[in-house]
Amino acid sequence: MIASAHSADEKVYEISELSNEVKELRSAFVDGRSKLMRLKMESTIVKKVEEKGLEISTTPPKKIKVKARD
């Protein structure tokens, strides 16, 4: 009976540790996702491109149409 109580205590302790690990991993995931969203914003990309000496085109891109040959 004592052995089963110890076994149950060990399992409760392990479940607690795993729950804490899940919370930490979820928090890291949310932080990473929010950083990615900030990096993908157009304003951030414009700043990074300007730092490298490039500038945004003022003329819109043109669509190229290719006709299929028979």
40 is in which domain, residue-wise?
2-51
Q: What is the pTM of this model?
A: 0.60
d(CA 22, CA 42): 33
pLDDT, mean over the chain: 91
The reported pLDDT for the residue numbered 57 is: 85
Average pLDDT of the residues in 9-32 = 96
Question: Does 65 reside within a domain?
Answer: no
Q: Is residue 37 part of a domain?
A: yes
Query: Looking at the domain assignment, is residue 64 inside a domain?
Result: no
Which residues touch 46 (CB under 8 Å, ≥6 apart)?
56
Decide if 66 is inside a domain: no
- What's the average model confidence in pLDDT over 25-40? 96
**pLDDT for 6:** 84
- Tens of pLDDT, residue by residue over 34-57, are 999 999 999 999 999 999 999 888
Are the C-beta atoms of residues 38 and 44 closer than 8 Å to each other?
yes
Asked whether residue 29 is domain-assigned, the answer is: yes
Residue 58 belongs to a domain: no
Which residue type sits at 16? S
pLDDT above 90: residue 2: no
Asked if residue 34 belongs to a domain, the reply is: yes
The reply to whether 67 falls in a domain is: no
